[in-house]
Amino acid sequence: MFDVQKVRRDFPILNQPHPSQKPLIYLDSAASSQKPAAVIEAMNHYYQAQNANVHRGIHYLSDEATNVYEGARKKIADFIRSPAPEQIIFTRNATEALNLIAYTWARVNLNPGDEILTTAMEHHANVVPWQMAAEMTGATVRFLPITADGHLDLAQLDQYLTRKTKLFTFTAVSNVLGTINPVEKLVEKARAVGAITVIDAAQSVPHAPVDVQAINCDLLVFSSHKMLGPTGIGVLYGKREILESMPPFMGGGDMIRRVTSQGSTWNELPYKFEAGTPPIAEAVGLGAAVDYLNQLGMDNVHHHEQSITAYALESLSEVPDLHILGPKAAHERGGLVAFDLKGIHPHDVAQILDDDGIAIRAGHHCAMPLHKEHLGLNSSARASFYVHTSTDEIDMLVRSLYRARRLFRLA
């Protein structure tokens, strides 16, 4: 394990007070993580000493920029145990990566009568692109239900995952329920019916070791900004044969091998999917974030979050009229707790907590079908944790929730 107080000193933003002059308590890492100084400094160094376009120049700075850009790709490949760096495609975020798959793979491979299977606990980014793909191809989107305790209803899986299913896409960890899904089992079941698998790993890659070869998934996506890296860059991992079979997503510079007035041919992986000037500084920052997480150790990160989550579940359960969404056991959850506090709208909860210097998320968390169709809620409040979260901060969260109840005369 690591020293949380020492880790906190690595995050400049956490060492400043809230405008209320109370300590800043950041419990919204599932939306976007804070950045350690090492990431900020790596990006500053790139702009100060290495800034140039990549792949296109023969001068010193272009070589330097290319080296750090491709070096970041290799770090990320190693981080998730991709067989090769060229199977790592840089996108703007996980959402763009999912849209890339939906637009390219779906356009070529789906036909009327085919089915796309997703789940009832998905983020909108793993619902809307498939609805658009279905409209474009004549396929149908189906949703695997969830159980009352917030798990996928695996008892019904064989009814939903059939020979008609051409693609099965699911989250590794729910961004609302916190549920950790059995990804290897789901991939195996999909392979048995001939479906390819797409994993939304935005809430798993930042928080626990991920091995794409052991999972054996076809495609997997995640975002930099949720794993201590900058905004503006995400990752698509894919099996080589899948990526090579997919047409380009966008046309332009660097994704071509040859262009004539009669037509074009495409570049090799990964560049076929990286048209135009890429997010170079952002890749450098993501590489630095990977270095930082590796230094902490992903097993340690996971153990710390499970410990904090267990403490939060126990502490929050003492607050009257507070209903926790999702599994009750910490080992079945990622590092977040969404909840409904009876008698107080989640937006009001978040506002009162903000007055105490505590940042949480309130709303439907880009999961409207889950909230409205399955949980019977319009919204919820969510506290999410990361490497810098301490038990003291959970205690402050609980005290602030008691204050919210007093303000609304519920106590």
pLDDT in tens, 38-88: 999 999 999 999 999 998 778 999 999 999 999 999 999 999 999 999 999
Q: What is the amino acid identity at position 157?
A: L
* Beta bridge mates, 333: 179
Question: Rounded mean pLDDT of 114-127?
Answer: 98
First to last CA, the chain: 39
Reported confidence tier of residue 411, pLDDT bands at 50, 70, 90: low
Q: Are 34 and 11 in contact (CB under 8 A)?
A: yes
Assess whether the previous peptide bond of 85 is cis (omega < 30° from 0).
no
pLDDT of residue 251: 83
DSSP at 14: G
User: CA–CA separation, 289 vs 229, rounded Å?
Assistant: 5
Residue 338, pLDDT score:
98
CATH node for 4-30+298-407: 3.90.1150.10
Long-range residue pairs from 301-307, CB within 8 A, at least 24 positions apart, any chain: 301/207, 301/208, 301/387, 302/207, 302/208, 302/209, 303/1, 304/1, 304/2, 304/4, 304/387, 305/207, 305/208, 305/334, 305/335, 305/385, 305/386, 305/387, 305/389, 306/330, 306/331, 306/335
Using a pLDDT cut of 90, give the percent of the chain over it: 90
Q: Which amino acid is at 386?
A: Y
Report how far apart, in Å, the C-alpha atoms of 355 and of each of 23, 25, 105 are: 11, 11, 47
How do residues 222-256 score in pLDDT, each as one tens digit?
999 999 999 999 999 999 999 999 999 888 878 77
Above 90 in pLDDT, residue 263? Answer: no
Q: How large is the average pLDDT for residues 386-400? A: 98
Which of 132-146, 248-262, 323-337, 350-364 is predicted least confidently? 248-262
pLDDT at 56: 78
- pLDDT for the residue numbered 267: 80
Domain-wise residue ranges, the chain = 4-30+298-407, 41-294
> Which residues participate in catalysis according to the annotation?
366
pLDDT higher than threshold 90 for residue 1? no
Give the torsion sign (CA, 222, 85, 118, 111).
Answer: positive
When comparing pLDDT for 265 and 298, which is higher? 298
- Tens digits of residue pLDDT in 160-203: 999 999 999 999 999 999 999 999 999 999 999 999 999 999 99
User: Are 187 and 216 within 8 A, CB to CB?
Assistant: yes
Place 265 in a pLDDT band, splitting at 50, 70 and 90. confident
Which class is 41-294 in CATH? alpha beta
Is the CB of residue 87 less than 8 Å from the CB of residue 238? yes
